Amino acid sequence: MKVVALEAHDIRFPTSRQLDGSDAMNPDPDYSAAYAVLRTDDGAEGHGFTFTIGRGTEVCVAAIRAYAPLVVGLDLDLSDLGEFSRRLLHDSQLRWLGPEKGAVHMAAAAIINAAFDLAGRVAGKPVWRLLADLPPEQIVDLADWRYLTDALRPEEAVELLRAARAGREEREAALLAGGYPAYTTTPGWLGYTDEKLVVLAREAVAEGFTQIKLKVGGDLADDVRRMELARRTVGPGIRIAIDANQRWDVGQAIEWVEALKPYDPWWIEEPTSPDDILGHAAVRRAVRPVRVATGEHVANRVIFKQLLQADAIDVLQIDACRVAGVPENVAILLLAAKYGVPVCPHAGGVGLCEVVQHLSMFDYLAVSGSTEDRVIEYVDHLHEHFTDPVRIRDGRYFAPSAPGMSAQIKPDSLREYAFPDGPAWRL
Ligand SMILES: [Mg+2]
């Protein structure tokens, strides 16, 4: 099939009006998507996006358009999407803008995930199943192995995937019957009042979540009060993760986490810059037994490799569309499995829950083979705009059955929230 069109849309939701999504670094996000649609000459389509928070979405949209000459007119081989991915990422002129980071990389993620959505639709399978059904060699071929072989070689990855085949049927039955564990960030936004925090934390436990997350890093006295309140509300049996969204220097991170230790935080997320591998390692050594988590702003597989090699993290947080989509995330899942570090994806935003669940479910069936200490983030925002929204029950994600990657935004929502001319923005 030949690609006949690559569309790019600037879609923004005015979430800053309610302070949904507010944290110590991002006080007023308008959750947005640079949204890509691939169309082929036989009428197939694929949808993908990268998540942005308002201003600058137009930059990612322009970057999606910059890839069009490499994509439109291409004969798309759905059995070799690793090659399609490398075609985009290895383009020397576009690569100059990264390499493999920033707007150009995020734009590639939108297009590459759109190709996987398309492949799932053509095969009649959700992408978690499409990936899990591939033979180990084909899974390994999806990844770009350049810069990885000092940590993991493709032959080792094949062995790892072969070993993970034992128990696959039982795990699939368990996934279909009982879902995949989730945690919720809904109670913990920094802009919410104490009353709203208590009500939402209580609701989260009643809904079956065993882990919640609080944003921290604005003001220490406020954080101590909110953490104490949250712990008193949920009791000792519920995990409370904390998330500083890169707010601190290394020393400050250590002091701040120490002050919150009496309330038993499960992990500290993004204590400092996502590029600071040695800084994360230092924080990790200092704040034990509190775990260190990062990943939603990690630019690519090379930084993840180093975080693992440097023993800098206890929890690896993939993002479905900051790195270059499915193939780069497959590489990161394989690295995490080799190093024995649990993957707890970043989600929320616009559609991140919808898309990333496919990667965790694939990981459970075919890569790590485990859900122990693994949870997908869940935030109860904006799901109503998707044609195949996540299904959350009893604090768990239930596996999507529709073909594709659950990435499609409803046509009405694309019109309503188009920026700057959609009705939602004409005030
Ligand atoms: Mg976070």
Q: Other C-beta atoms within 10 Å of 12: how many?
A: 24
Catalytic residue among 101, 215, 358, 381: 215
Encode 409-424: b = buried (16+ Cβ within 10 Å), e = exposed: beeebbeebbbeebee
Catalytic residue among 9, 101, 105, 346: 346
Distance 379 CA to ligand 1 centre (A): 11
Distance 280 CA to ligand 1 centre (A): 15
State the DSSP string of 45-105: EEEEEEEE-STTHHHHHHHHHHTHHHHTT-B--TT-HHHHHHHHHT-HHHHTT-SS-HHHH
Residue 317's pLDDT band (cuts 50, 70, 90): very high
Q: Are 349 and 52 in contact (CB under 8 A)?
A: no
* H-state helical runs in 124-219: 127-132, 136-142, 154-163, 168-178, 194-206
All structural domains of the chain, each given as residue ranges with its CATH number in brackets, are 3-148 (3.30.390.10), 168-412 (3.20.20.120)
- Mean predicted confidence (pLDDT) in 196-208: 97
- Mean predicted confidence (pLDDT) in 98-120: 98
Residue 249's pLDDT band (cuts 50, 70, 90): very high
pLDDT, residue 91, reads 98
| Token pair of 152 as six digits | 């993991």
pLDDT in tens, 215-224: 999 999 999 9
The set of residues, in sequence order, having a beta carbon less than 8 Å from that of 28 and lying 6+ positions away, is 16, 19, 22
- Mean predicted confidence (pLDDT) in 248-271: 98
Distance 7 CA to ligand 1 centre (A): 29
Q: Are 267 and 242 in contact (CB under 8 A)?
A: yes
Could you say which DSSP state residue 394 is in? T
Distance from C-alpha of 238 to C-alpha of 132, rounded to nearest angstrom: 32
Distance 303 CA to ligand 1 centre (A): 17
Q: Other C-beta atoms within 10 Å of 376: how many?
A: 27
How much of the chain, in percent, has pLDDT values that exceed 90?
Answer: 95
Distance 5 CA to ligand 1 centre (A): 34
Distance from C-alpha of 357 to C-alpha of 361, rounded to nearest angstrom: 6
Distance from C-alpha of 421 to C-alpha of 12, rounded to nearest angstrom: 11
Distance 246 CA to ligand 1 centre (A): 9
Distance from C-alpha of 272 to C-alpha of 132, rounded to nearest angstrom: 34
Distance 291 CA to ligand 1 centre (A): 14
Distance 136 CA to ligand 1 centre (A): 32
Q: Other C-beta atoms within 10 Å of 426: how many?
A: 7
pLDDT, residue 25, reads 82
Distance from C-alpha of 104 to C-alpha of 82, rounded to nearest angstrom: 18
- Mean predicted confidence (pLDDT) in 286-302: 98
Asked if residue 63 has pLDDT above 80, the reply is yes
Q: Are 241 and 266 in contact (CB under 8 A)?
A: yes
End-to-end CA, the chain:
43
Distance from C-alpha of 76 to C-alpha of 88, rounded to nearest angstrom: 13
Q: Are 88 and 111 in contact (CB under 8 A)?
A: yes
Asked if residue 23 has pLDDT above 90, the reply is no
| Token pair of 355 as six digits | 């898309």
Distance from C-alpha of 236 to C-alpha of 140, rounded to nearest angstrom: 42
Instruction: Decide if 346 is catalytic.
Output: yes
pLDDT, residue 235, reads 97
pLDDT, residue 421, reads 96
Distance 277 CA to ligand 1 centre (A): 17
What is the enclosing helix (H) or strand (E) of 233?
Answer: helix 220-234
Asked if residue 28 has pLDDT above 90, the reply is no
Asked if residue 19 has pLDDT above 80, the reply is no
Residue 309 buriedness (CB in 10 A; 0-12 / 13-18 / 19+)? middle
| Token pair of 199 as six digits | 């009500």
Distance from C-alpha of 311 to C-alpha of 350, rounded to nearest angstrom: 31
Mean pLDDT score of the chain: 97
pLDDT, residue 31, reads 96
Strand order in the sheet with 3-12: 3-12, 32-40, 45-52
Distance from C-alpha of 66 to C-alpha of 97, rounded to nearest angstrom: 12
Distance from C-alpha of 309 to C-alpha of 340, rounded to nearest angstrom: 11
- Mean predicted confidence (pLDDT) in 7-21: 89
Instruction: Decide if 215 is catalytic.
Output: yes
Closest CA to 323 of 29, 88, 26: 88
Asked if residue 52 has pLDDT above 80, the reply is yes
Distance from C-alpha of 126 to C-alpha of 128, rounded to nearest angstrom: 6
pLDDT, residue 190, reads 87
pLDDT, residue 17, reads 85
Torsion angle of C-alpha atoms 333, 51, 223, 372, degrees rounded to 10: -20
Asked if residue 20 has pLDDT above 80, the reply is no
What is the enclosing helix (H) or strand (E) of 358?
Answer: helix 352-362
Q: Are 419 and 10 in contact (CB under 8 A)?
A: yes
The pTM for the full model equals 0.98
Q: Are 294 and 307 in contact (CB under 8 A)?
A: yes
Distance 53 CA to ligand 1 centre (A): 13
